[in-house]
Structure 1
Amino acid sequence: MTRPRGLRALAIRNPQDFYGGLVLVAFAAIAFWATRDLPGSRGLTFGAGTAPRLFAGLLAFVGAIVTILGVVTTGPSVGRYPIRGPLLIFASVLVFAGTVKAVGLVVATFVTVLVASAASRETRWREAIPWAAALSVFCALLFSYALGLPLPLWPKL
Structure 2
Amino acid sequence: MSDTPSEAPVRSILPKWIRGPQDFIGGLAMMAVALFALWASSDLQGMHGFSFGAGTAPRMFAVLLLLLGAGVALVGVLQDGPHLSHYSWRGPLFVSASIVFFALAIRPLGLVVSAFASFLIAAMGSNETKWLEAVVVGACLTAGCAILFPYILGLPMPMFPRFLIQ
Category of TM-score, reference length = shorter chain: over 0.9
Find the partner of 2:41 among 26, 35, 50: 35
Pairing of 1:53-132 with structure 2 (within 5 A): 53-132=59-138
Q: TM-score, normalised by structure 1?
A: 0.92
Find the partner of 1:23 among 22, 29, 32: 29
CA distance in 1, matches of 2:162, 2:31: 44
Deviations 1:22-43 (A, max 9, x none): 0110010011001101111111
- Divergent runs of 4+, >3 A: none
| Corresponding residue for residue 154 of structure 2 | 148
Q: Percentage identity across aligned positions?
A: 48
CA distance in 2, matches of 1:53, 1:156: 39
The DSSP-based 3-state class of the residue aligned with 1:36 is coil
Deviations 1:18-73 (A, max 9, x none): 00000110010011001101111111111111111111000000000000100111
Q: How many residues align?
A: 149
CA distance in 1, matches of 2:132, 2:146: 22
Task: Decide which structure has greater helix share.
Answer: 1
CA distance in 2, matches of 1:117, 1:44: 44
Structure 1: which 5+ residue stretches go unaligned?
1-7
* Deviation for aligned residue 1:156: 1.5
Q: TM-score, normalised by structure 2?
A: 0.87
* Deviation for aligned residue 1:98: 1.0
* Deviation for aligned residue 1:76: 1.1
State the one-letter code of the partner of 1:107. V
Structure 2: which 5+ residue stretches go unaligned?
1-14
The DSSP-based 3-state class of the residue aligned with 1:55 is helix
